[in-house]
Amino acid sequence: MTYKIFNAIYLNKNTQKYATPCYLYDQQLLIDTILLAQNSCNKYFKDYNTKIHYAIKANNNLQLLSKIKQHNFGIDCVSGGEIKLALQAGFSGQDIVFAGVGKLDAEINLALEQNIYAFNCESEQEVEVINQLAQKAQKIARIMLRVNPDIDAMTHKNISTGKFDNKFGLSFSAIVKFLPQLRQLKNINLIGLHYHIGSQITNMQVFTNLSTIVVEHFKQLQQQGVTISDINLGGGLGIDYLNPQVNPIADFAAYFKALKASLDLPQTVNLHFELGRAIVAQCGILLSEVLFIKHTEGNNFAIINAGMNDLMRPALYGANHAMLVLNARQDYEKYHVVGPVCESTDVFACNLDLPKLGRGDKIAILSCGAYGHVLASTYNSRTICQEYII
Ligand SMILES: *Cc1c(COP(=O)(O)O)cnc(C)c1O
């Protein structure tokens, strides 16, 4: 099946009414992705109580959120603003898990008020502050401790989170050391451990390695007299940025299978997953238009009207996105595709073979549904572009 979002003829005909640059989301692709994620999870973990929490920071569009909510996802938030948006989209407190190394008092109070499922705590001091605020609010806060397992996610260093030099989580030995103090905190209920080691992970062995460590930690806690009811394995499943049309849906089966391979836990343990990118990345494109073509010594520039303020991933992580040119020209030329922003990193592609371009030609930058619009800024006093569902 070819999705609308990858169909140049469809897009050319049906998107004339949208001013560029703009983000377009393919609802059918989102729904197919959601269903496959749920089915794969249920298939590999059929004996467990499971919940996939969508990581809202990947894309916080309310229409997409309500579709995700309709399909029984929970939600993973990293700020009070995200908690408010999740509630607005119809999620309940019990659907919410809340991570982040720097939770504000006001955010903690909001989460307590909403009786969220769990705080994913990242430092000893954070747990103490949550205890104090919970005491004031006369609540018991359910928490999971975020473990930094010091494993290599084998992804870009800027999106690795599970090594000791990353700011995230606590080492397992620090957690064990913290247990006696934790027992004194009357308004804290430790329900589990949380892990999230990075993003755009494409080597499935990484997830099997993670599960092995999780089981070890579970057993070591048991030996300390602490039996936890929940394990949160985080997210990080990568997508195919090179060939989105060939692989429009992430390989959820491989992901859950890899986690299951070494996850030898009692079936009474509730399992949580937090997928962001893999749910929404492929269903979104950034539609833009060629402003000018410029030939300089040895270089061909196609200057488009979308910039790094609209899509920051290439400038931020050196990310590559495939592109679809909507004209139907047969002869090709190599272009540096660049934006209008006054920064040398405002570049979307170097020496990319594309159908010969002219002013006004439309270019769709693919795989922009995750970490696209949410990272947009008004840099250069540009406007934040619109989003549409097709
Ligand atoms: C960002 C984030 C995720 C989602 O990561 P993806 O790579 O988009 O799947 C999951 N959990 C936590 C705690 C996060 O911060």
Of 63-77, 143-157, 349-363, minimum mean pLDDT range = 143-157
- Looking at the chain, the whole-number percentage of residues with pLDDT higher than 90 is 93
Question: Do residues 347 and 338 touch, judged by C-beta distance below 8 A?
Answer: yes
Residue of minimum CA distance from atom 2 in ligand 1: 55
Q: Which helix (H) or strand (E) holds 201?
A: none
**Phi-psi map region of 212: left, alpha, beta (phi>0 left; psi -120 to 50 alpha):** alpha
Work out the pLDDT band at 328, boundaries 50, 70, 90.
Answer: confident
pTM, to two decimals: 0.96
Mean confidence (pLDDT) of the chain = 96
Instruction: Give the model's pLDDT for residue 162.
Output: 82
What's the gap in Å between 276 CA and the centre of ligand 1?
A: 6
Of 98-107, 158-167, 224-233, minimum mean pLDDT range = 158-167
| Residue keyed to tokens 């990345």 | 281
Q: Cα separation of 132 and 126, whole Å? A: 10
Question: Is the sign of the CA dihedral 30, 34, 37, 39 positive or negative?
Answer: negative
Cross-strand partners of 146: 194
- Look at residue 248 and tell me whether its pLDDT is greater than 90: yes
- Ligand 1 atom closest to the Cα of residue 120 is 13
Instruction: Give the model's pLDDT for residue 204.
Output: 97
pLDDT tens digits, residue range 176-203? 999 999 999 999 999 999 999 999 999 9
- E-strand ranges in 58-212 read 74-77, 96-98, 118-121, 141-146, 188-194
What's the gap in Å between 376 CA and the centre of ligand 1?
A: 18
Angle formed by the axes of helices 80-88 and 62-70, nearest 10°: 70
Query: What values do phi and psi take at 170, rounded to 5?
Result: -125, 150
Query: What values do phi and psi take at 91, rounded to 5?
Result: -75, 150
Which DSSP string corresponds to 283-329? TEEEEEEEEEEEEETTEEEEEES--TTT--HHHHH-----EEE-S--
- Ligand 1 atom closest to the Cα of residue 275 is 9
What's the gap in Å between 73 CA and the centre of ligand 1?
A: 14
How large is the average pLDDT for residues 331-348?
Answer: 97
Work out the pLDDT band at 240, boundaries 50, 70, 90.
Answer: very high
Q: Which helix (H) or strand (E) holds 199?
A: none
Instruction: Give the model's pLDDT for residue 1.
Output: 63
Half-sphere exposure of residue 112: CA atoms within 13 angstroms, side-chain side: 23
- Look at residue 158 and tell me whether its pLDDT is greater than 90: no
Amino acid, single-letter form, for residue 159:
I
Q: Cα separation of 331 and 158, whole Å? A: 38
- Ligand 1 atom closest to the Cα of residue 200 is 7
Protein residues whose CB sits closer than 6 Å to any atom of ligand 1: 55, 57-58, 76, 78, 99, 196, 199, 234-237, 274-278
How large is the average pLDDT for residues 342-347?
Answer: 96
Strands 284-296 and 22-25 come out as: antiparallel
Q: Cα separation of 23 and 280, whole Å? A: 12
Q: How many helices (H) and strands (E) does the chain have?
A: 11, 16
Q: Cα separation of 370 and 312, whole Å? A: 11
What's the gap in Å between 301 CA and the centre of ligand 1?
A: 35
Question: Do residues 118 and 167 touch, judged by C-beta distance below 8 A?
Answer: no
pLDDT tens digits, residue range 360-384? 999 999 999 999 999 999 999 999 9
Two structure tokens written together for 150: 């010091």
Mutate to test the pocket of ligand 1, among 77, 160, 196 (most ligand atoms within 8 A of CB): 196
- Ligand 1 atom closest to the Cα of residue 146 is 13
How large is the average pLDDT for residues 76-104?
Answer: 98
Instruction: Give the model's pLDDT for residue 152.
Output: 83
Q: How far does the chain reach from its first CA to its final CA, in angstroms?
A: 16
Amino acid, single-letter form, for residue 9:
I
What's the gap in Å between 341 CA and the centre of ligand 1?
A: 29
Work out the pLDDT band at 159, boundaries 50, 70, 90.
Answer: confident
Which residues make Cβ contacts (< 8 Å) with residue 361, sequence separation at least 6? 289, 290, 325, 326, 327
Two structure tokens written together for 48: 């467990």
Question: Do residues 110 and 83 touch, judged by C-beta distance below 8 A?
Answer: yes
Question: Do residues 265 and 253 touch, judged by C-beta distance below 8 A?
Answer: no
What's the gap in Å between 254 CA and the centre of ligand 1?
A: 18
How large is the average pLDDT for residues 261-283?
Answer: 98
- Ligand 1 atom closest to the Cα of residue 78 is 15
Mutate to test the pocket of ligand 1, among 34, 76, 202 (most ligand atoms within 8 A of CB): 76
Work out the pLDDT band at 114, boundaries 50, 70, 90.
Answer: very high
What's the gap in Å between 58 CA and the centre of ligand 1?
A: 8
Mutate to test the pocket of ligand 1, among 159, 199, 231 (most ligand atoms within 8 A of CB): 199
Closest CA to 321 of 331, 310, 332, 333: 310
pLDDT tens digits, residue range 8-52? 999 999 999 999 999 999 999 999 999 999 999 999 999 999 999
- Residue 187: helix, strand or coil by DSSP? coil
Which residues make Cβ contacts (< 8 Å) with residue 191, sequence separation at least 6? 118, 142, 143, 144, 228, 229, 230
- Look at residue 164 and tell me whether its pLDDT is greater than 90: no
